[in-house]
Structure 1
């Protein structure tokens, strides 16, 4: 190799499956220039990667820009189709696997894992070019053809397990609503004892009433926000007050708290032990704070007069409960459950809510005033 015409990276050499690979440090400004992504609109069997989901890029880009002092990125993984040579700094000593990796200028770099991070880095550099001198680690394999690149992608993702939404909320110290949700749980005696902070769905024998993501999603409904949006001070105060009122009101939850009912029995026999009901209550709560700001607590207290039992098919069938008797949580079932709660509280429907009733042919709301 002609070292006058090559990329040179500080590198560490390793070995897996009897083959060498390298971990190099690369300036961010070089990422868009040399690390390519197989983006062509060609059949999947002829690509070594999934198609880039461009909707993900702005979120990752904003993460870099907004947290330029403390963002964290894991390594990219790439295959190099071209000539490479590793030179150790001390071939005879204990540093024989530390040195420089020389890669010919005409080599082709193909991203195997991290294509969305690569695209986001490119966009972030357009906003803040100073990021270009920072580095990211790259795990480099020798490219031996399309089948090998496809296999690398498959192997890297085969055993990958996404973290649960609840864990994401628990470990998120930037998002304001995540922080507030954890504060709500920590400062509420019932929630702190009966909230599962890791899982997103509870097994039938779980001793918990709620999962952390149930509370977070309900908070989104209560303030009609999307994840990542800022909260007003009055919205924060409302959320804190709301959970205090709700946990004091729902008698089934308090029966669990008082050891007079198990959490398992709650989920088996009542819909208010499930996320679909909780998010529906969140929609009702948002309606109340916007339209009955001085009376919302009175309406929340009236939730205790509702029959939440799963045997109450008159109210919950085709809403929170499917025809096969299972609890179902979709966008529409949350809306339909919220509609029934509003009807039971003698609250008016909006035009959108009336339309979804008509869509599914449920209930008789003719005597309920629309707003």
Structure 2
């Protein structure tokens, strides 16, 4: 037997094994062996430069019942690739999960009970690799490498399962995704330290007097009996609309100060918020009876406030006092039905946010822009 080896910096070794008169080519991975549901699986570290070569997505043209995963959503790839490129010193990707369709051989490094879990996994080159979880990460890595080849020698963990057929692979995909729960938007904002707007929203939630202690930072919705009145996600969205910023846009100190002053001034003109802060009225009562206790009001206030500040930069605080006389009661169907309410229930639809901000602009004597006027005309026509 003749053996020739090519070393990929001690991460992946390529072996050529000649047996009798035939040749067999294998990939050899340094791995840790584990047991799950009575089956062996293996974990390795794979250089990013080898990910696109080894693990290919080839199921686009197959019908769903012959695939073992969802189709590749190519629209997701640029954002994932940009995430790697823009955060080369802090990006984090979870493991790829891969099934191997072929015979494999595990050679432990030692007979010791602990060391026997470490070894080399040899996989014939004619074997097929099927990505059970992580095809979008794999595609993003390929795209990121084109712009940043210096990432080539960084690694991603790969978990190998030996394929037991299509049914088993489909079941693995179902099991891997069955209990996956996306984090709430508020929690994502709370933990996002890259987005300047998320940082500002957290600061506002802690420093604007009426927000402090009254903001739900983990959930996007507030339970009926909660003492919280606002959500971090609604503060984020409304401040984004106030400052007319996009995700990851830079925010100046002057804009930060403006956001703080705006929300503080808004709270001075909605007395119910301060009564709730002082525990003179329950938060759930405000949510039950008033439009201003919901995220749609924060967004509408921000949209109208942004226009107010642009129109009256020197006197916006004085002009803002006009909203103090607005009847925010949900029981006032003449004002709110069809605008913030649909059949008595609050609607977060974009059109309803616009209609609510239109009412605030009219209250503040601010002209509507053409698109807002069109929406208002449709609303008025429907009321007849």
TM-score normalised over the length of structure 1: 0.93
Query: Which shifted more, 78-87 or 261-270?
Result: 78-87
Q: 2:178 aligned to 158, 181, 187, which one?
A: 158
Distance in 2 (alpha carbons) for counterparts of 1:14 and 1:287: 60
Kindly report the root-mean-square deviation, in angstroms, between the aligned alpha carbons of the 2 structures: 1.8
Residue equivalent to 2:9: none
Shift of 1:150: 1.1
| Counterpart for residue 69 of structure 1 | 89
| Matched residue SS, 1:136 | strand
> 8 Å contact 2:210–2:264 — kept in the other structure?
no
- Alignment counterpart, residue 338 of structure 1, candidates 357, 363, 369: 357
Is structure 2 residue 55 aligned with structure 1 residue 55? no
Q: What is the deviation of 1:363? A: 8.5
Counterparts of 1:284-303 in structure 2, within 5 Å, are 284-303=304-323
Q: Is residue 24–residue 138 contact of structure 1 (8 Å, CA) maintained in 2?
A: yes
Q: Secondary structure at the match of 2:152?
A: helix
Name the structure 2 match of 1:178: 198
Is the partner of 1:190 in helix, strand or coil? coil
Conserved in 1, the CA contact under 8 Å of 2:205 and 2:211?
Answer: yes
Aligned to 2:8: none
Deviations 1:81-105 (CA, angstroms, capped at 9, x unpaired): 1222111111234211111211111
Q: Deviations over 1:291-311 (max 9, x none)?
A: 222222223332221111101
Of 12, 16, 36, 2:56 maps to 36
Q: Per-residue deviation at 1:44?
A: 1.9
Higher fraction of strand: 2
What is the correspondence of 1:1-371 to structure 2 with a 5 Å cutoff? 3-4=15-16, 5-323=25-343, 325-361=344-380
**CA positional deviation for 1:157:** 0.7
Larger radius of gyration, structure 1 or 2? 2
Shift of 1:249: 2.3
CA offset digits 1:137-184 (Å, max 9, x no partner)? 011111122221111110001011111011111011111011111111
Q: Distance in 2 between matches of 1:310 and 1:73?
A: 46
Q: Any stretches of 5+ residues in structure 1 without a counterpart?
A: 365-371
CA distance in 1, matches of 2:320, 2:32: 61
Query: Contact conserved, 1:76 with 1:137, CA < 8 A, in 2?
Result: yes
Alpha-carbon contact 1:22-1:139 (below 8 Å) kept: yes
Secondary structure at the counterpart of residue 221 of structure 1:
helix
TM-score (norm 2): 0.90
Where do 5+ consecutive residues of structure 2 fail to align? 4-14, 17-24
Give distance in 1, aligned partners of 2:361 and 2:261.
20
Deviates more, 1:51-60 or 1:6-15: 51-60
Query: How far did residue 362 of structure 1 move?
Result: 5.3
Deviations 1:266-286 (A, max 9, x none): 100001111111111111122
Residue 290 of structure 1: how far off its partner (Å) = 2.3
In the TM superposition, residue 20 of structure 1 has moved relative to its aligned partner by: 0.7
Deviation at 1:247, TM superposition (A): 2.3
**CA contact under 8 A between 1:197 and 1:212: conserved in structure 2?**
yes
Change (3 A) 1:153 1:274: same
